[in-house]
Chains A and B, each alone.
Chain A
Amino acid sequence: MADSRQDSGRSAVEDTFPKLLRMHARVRADRPAFRHKDRGIWQTWTWREVYDNVRAIALGLHKLGVAEGDKVAIVGANRPLLYWSLCAAQMLRATPVPVYADAVADELVHVLANADVKVAAAQDQEQVDKLLSIADRLPTLEHIVYDEDRGLRDYVQPNLSALDDIIEASAKALHSEASLGRSLDELIDAGRADDASIMLYTSGTTGRSKGVVLSAGRSVQAARDTVAFDGLTDRDEQLAYLPLAWVGDHYLNYAQALVAGSCVACPENADTVAQDLREIGPSFYFAPPRVFEAQLTRIMIRMEDASGLKRKMFDHFIGVARKWGEKILNGESVPVLSRLHYALGEFLVYGPLKNVLGYSNIRAAYTAGEAIGGELFSFYRSLGLNLKQLYGQTEAFLYVTAHANGAVRSDTVGPPAPNVDIRIADDGEVQFKSPGQFVAYYKEPEKTAETLTPDGYVKTGDAGFFDADGQLRILDRAKDVGKLKDGTIFAPKYIENKLKFFPNIKEAVAFGDACDFVTVMLNIELTAVGNWAERNNISYASYQELAGHRQVYEMIARHVDEVNASLAQEPRMAGAQIARFLILPKELDADDGELTRTQKVRRGFIAERYEPLVKGLYDGSKIADISTEVTFEDGRKGTISGRVAIVDLTRHGASQGSKAA
């Protein structure tokens, strides 16, 4: 406790992340700072050890010529050494540039060339190979350092070294020459609030991605606000499994952890996250809606396979939770008997379920990135999981709005976060000013000027409005909101989200701007539909075959019809009911450019790529042929071709909408 008071007294001083790290190494030297599961065992590093390692890496990078203002790329998954390399670059007043680990070579070239990267820290052989393959297109790249040496020992390239070797050599040097340590201290002291702390590339939903420059002082300040907002301390722990290059990871697992002094656990690898989550039992958690959705699907599928007694018990107590769970979580008054009933449910169902999911210790969980279905959101909250929504942007260093404990709703993203100022422009666009607000797009002053208003607000490009109790609601990207030929407002995301709330539908792409009616292309969710097929003795060999199955079409048609019924009830949307739909023979994939790396659909690109299908949707044909190129994970290409059925739907009358379901 004394510690935390001491911290707040000093808070004005630490305006960069390396300074914060140094403070933690002093104040809570022996508290755990990082964990990583390696060879089946959780390894832990204390703040003192992390500080020493970061200093060693910083010295090594310094020897490689990294100096103030240089860029250091971080390519790989969430591993302690990569987080430390990131901090080490900041210690030298260089700017780290994390990159999506699954980016293909061409995407990497764009980012690394644009950022003038001098040194790259790569996770493993795969990433090193990728970097080497594009090295001739990156004139500024001088050196590559790597974490896992597996398969790399026989590489003879001169500009390649292992982080472990660097740490070992530098630690020795730091030990024998005190002057080296002093000059590092001076560098840390020299760090200033307006240093470029990090450069994060936008996901590129629209065109090529831009480098968002965030300053140290603003980043730290933004993190301080939200750490106070959620009451995070050095007793908190989180699992770092989000992509390093995404603002959410940098904010939640780096900035907040360095401000609060909480512990960051890195999973064994990307496939073990669910198990690692259970073992770590984090107290703070973030996941995009699709993770919660996939999880709920899995829970429901497994319950279907459970014995009758267990299923009855589950259904009964989930019913109880639906009725009272959210009220209890929000601190509303609930009859004593119902509280007891819920407590019994906690003992028999909710507690064990949360334990299996790794949610037992969570005090605050957030979701963001896209709309979350009301049902889905309520399900988790009713179990007693404090799930909240936030609305954020890379340009804001994440938080723009966030739900406060006790005032949470699924259809809003909450009131403005602490010290954030939001206004709605005349055209409905949401604009904000925030403590973590970005400085500029790297090397793109025109784009920066476009995004900022003259009085310093950031344009989000999202259309939204405040409802009566001051919570923000987001409709869609402002420029995506279009009109049908008859003038009805067409908000594609709004329709797509309604479709995606069905567990059987994975992705939806709606068309209709400047057309006579609305049409959609769908992806089915293989887990859910596959399970359903198994139960109904429907055999299939591939995604394509299942997607084209007559009975699957019938089932999906019922879902689309329900969406139409619900659209019919909203006066503004009734005209935008879905007239025709088809199920795509292939899953939309970021490798083919159909989704962004953050899994958002790129509508325009899809419309071009599946042009014959779009044509089919609008010319009234019952069948359309498509042949399209797919990219395998290694970059090779193949083609998928198929014949796709198109289904017509009867639209609901605006008045009788409620009856239709």
Chain B
Amino acid sequence: MSGADDILLKVDNVSLSFGGVRAITDVSFDIRKGEIRAIIGPNGAGKTSMLNVINGFYHPQNGSISFHGQTRARMKPYEAASQGIARTFQNVALFKGMSTLDNILAGRALKMKSSFFWQMFRHGPALAEEIEHRKFCEEIIDFLEIEHIRKAPVGTLPYGLQKRVELGRALAMEPTLLLLDEPMAGMNLEEKQDMSRFIIDVNQHFGTTIALIEHDIGVVMDLSDRIVVLEYGHKIADGNPEEVKSDQKVIDAYLGVAH
């Protein structure tokens, strides 16, 4: 198939358990540079756990993960973040009292270089830096078409828009790998279409590699280049949408099977 060069992230024989509960069992797959990779599966299949493993929130008992060809040791989420892995959450996790702009600016925190001293007085290098970051955030605001809520406290926004702001905050980190945990949960048809368009645009415009979890199979089939299917923590299928769609194990997992 393809050379090791264009593999961005590789998950090798990862197993994760919480006490006696095995969340993920011996799962391996890879994510290529520039692709949209979907992780699907019925409820409790271990999809979110997988994302948490990738961004360093959970530490698998077995197996290894390599990012950019480097197998990582135990790492913390902020280390993953500084390496270029950003994510959004299943249940929106924004600073509700802060404005859209401030939330997105918060995504730039890791990029701020000026010292605490200058930042305290908002002068010199800190001011120049803030202008740079604001500029970048304005690009994102323009990109996601959320100009009208720039100054609105996010807590007052409808759910669909909050999801978009969260995506904006993740984009502010200029990630190489973007993890989206159910970006379209609870959205109506129109919002889903908007969000799909944004995901494709992010992928093409910024060249960002995207791994997403999504329940709307129609959306997943349309968006993704390749899909990995989990069930009860096991990988049951992996391939392009066509292959996955016709895979008997996947059909059984979703529709149930007569025993």
Contacts and interface: CB of A to CB of B under 8 A. Distances in A.
Interface of A: 37-41, 150-151, 153-154, 268-269, 271-272, 275, 632-634, 636
B138 A40 contact: yes
A154 B143 CA distance: 16
B132 interface: no
B165 to A, nearest CB: 15
A269 B147 contact: yes
Nearest to A633: B190
Interface string B200-239: 0100110000000000000000000000000000000000
Contacts of B138: 39-41
Interface in B119-142: 134-135, 138-139, 141-142
A37 to B, nearest CB: 8
Contact of A151 (B151, B190, B205): B205
Contact of B147 (A151, A268, A632, A634): A268
Interface in B134-185: 134-135, 138-139, 141-143, 145, 147-148, 150-151
B258 interface: no
B148 A269 contact: yes
A150 B139 contact: no
B189 interface: yes
B190 to A, nearest CB: 6
Nearest to A151: B201
A271 B148 contact: yes
B139 A634 contact: no
A39 B197 CA distance: 20
B141 A40 contact: yes
26 contacts: A37-B147, A39-B135, A39-B138, A40-B134, A40-B138, A40-B141, A40-B147, A40-B150, A41-B138, A150-B201, A150-B205, A151-B197, A153-B205, A154-B204, A268-B148, A269-B145, A269-B147, A269-B148, A271-B148, A272-B147, A275-B148, A632-B189, A632-B190, A633-B190, A634-B193, A636-B189
A38 B151 CA distance: 15
Contacts of B139: 39
Given A40-B134, A150-B205, A636-B189, 15 more contacts: A37-B147, A38-B142, A39-B138, A40-B138, A40-B141, A40-B150, A41-B138, A150-B143, A154-B204, A269-B148, A271-B147, A272-B147, A272-B148, A632-B189, A632-B190
Nearest to B188: A632
Interface of B: 134-135, 138-139, 141-143, 145, 147-148, 150-151, 189-190, 193, 197, 201, 204-205
Contacts of B205: 150-151, 153
A632 B204 CA distance: 27
B167 to A, nearest CB: 16
Q: Give the residue among B134, B139, B147, B205 with the most A Cβ atoms within 10 A.
A: B147
B190 A634 contact: yes
A636 B160 CA distance: 20
Nearest to A126: B197
A40 B99 CA distance: 14
Nearest to B136: A39
A209 B48 CA distance: 54
Nearest to A271: B148
Nearest to A275: B148
Contacts of B148: 268-269, 271-272, 275
A130 to B, nearest CB: 14
Contacts of A151: 197, 201, 204-205
A634 B225 CA distance: 24
Nearest to A272: B148
Contacts of B145: 269
Contacts of A268: 147-148
A412 to B, nearest CB: 37
A144 to B, nearest CB: 20
A659 to B, nearest CB: 46
Contacts of B134: 40
What are the 9 tightest A-B residue pairs by CB atom distance, in nearest-first order? A271-B148, A39-B138, A272-B148, A40-B138, A268-B147, A272-B147, A269-B147, A151-B201, A39-B142
Contacts of A275: 148, 151
A633 B190 CA distance: 8
A7 B181 CA distance: 63
Contacts of A37: 147
Contacts of B204: 151, 154
A190 B38 CA distance: 61
A37 B138 CA distance: 12
Contacts of A154: 204
Nearest to A270: B148
A268 B151 CA distance: 14
B192 to A, nearest CB: 11
A41 B134 CA distance: 11
Nearest to B200: A151
A280 to B, nearest CB: 15
A275 B149 CA distance: 10
A151 B201 CA distance: 6
B199 to A, nearest CB: 12
A271 B134 CA distance: 21
Contacts of A39: 135, 138-139, 141-142
Nearest to B141: A40
B121 to A, nearest CB: 24
Contacts of B197: 151
A295 B144 CA distance: 27
B47 to A, nearest CB: 28
Contacts of A40: 134, 138, 141, 147, 150
A151 B190 CA distance: 19
Most B Cβ at <10 Å: residue of A39, A154, A268, A632? A39
A620 to B, nearest CB: 39
A9 B150 CA distance: 47
Contacts of A271: 147-148
A436 B56 CA distance: 70
Contacts of B201: 150-151
Nearest to B143: A150
Nearest to B150: A40
